[in-house]
Amino acid sequence: MTRINLLPPEERSRAAREQGLLLAIVGLIVLVVALGAVYFMTYRQVQTKQTQINDVSAQIDVANVQVAALRPYQTMQLQRQAMATTAAQILNSRVIVSNVLEEIGLLIPANVSITQLTLNVPPYMVAGANDSSTGAAATTTFGANADLTITGDSNGSSLYASHDQVATMLTQLGLMPQLMNIKLTSAVDVPGFPNDLSYTITANLRPFATTPPLAPTAPSITMGGGQ
């Protein structure tokens, strides 16, 4: 059965225009809704990221407060390490006088005696000797005075034997790594004892390879005499 449109041509054209306008309006509404949905999703994502940023910033602030609270302990740790290093340097730069005396006692020949022994540790071998805060600034002149002075007697079967024993003692002292610049400063006969010899030996302590803390720098040393 054939359908017949009884509307005039003008009405049919108007209806077509209204239908097209309606479709355009519906499309515009759909586009606005889609853009709104995209904007809403983007806004939610931005808000989520901003919340995360705020949380991280708060954590950073807390961490900075904790770091500031711990900073004095870091300073104390550095001071403790510096003090431990200084203490180790002082310990390693000690002149153990008892060891020096023991070695000298072991090296004395049988018929040689010591009547007097003087040992002075030079400033450049003493930690803190150059500490200006204590008014203990020290000079570093080497060789002006002997650090070690030994005075004694040698009693041999003859005067030659006594001299030989003193020479042996000089040689033996030269074996001590702590001593240098060993010299026989005097050797004289003992009145009334034709075979006896009175002697005086001087030496310097060998400076440490590393200057002790707060000590003057060891001067340049030119070897002389026994070394």
66-90 pLDDT tens trace: 888 888 888 888 888 877 776 776 6
Average pLDDT over residues 32-38: 89
CB contact at 8 A, 145 and 169: no
Instruction: Measure the N-to-C terminal CA separation of the chain; round to a whole number of Å.
Output: 140
For 95, residues 6+ apart whose C-beta sits below 8 A from its C-beta are: 121, 125, 178, 205
Lookup: tokens for 89: 């340097």
Output the CA–CA distances (angstroms, integers) from residue 86 to 75, 90, 99, 122, 209, in the order listed: 16, 6, 23, 20, 16
DSSP string computed for 113-176? EEEEEEE---GGGSTTTT-GGGT-------SSS-SEEEEEEEE-SSHHHHHHHHHHHHHHHTT-
Please give the pLDDT value at position 123: 78
Among 106-115, 136-145, 197-206, the least confident range: 136-145
Count other C-beta atoms under 10 Å from residue 12's C-beta.
10
Give the residue from 119, 121, 120, 124 showing the smallest Cα distance to 140: 124
Q: Which CATH class is domain 97-205?
A: alpha beta
Q: Which residues contact 97 (CB under 8 A, 6 or more apart)?
A: 119, 121
Predicted TM-score (pTM) of the model is 0.55
DSSP classification of residue 70: H
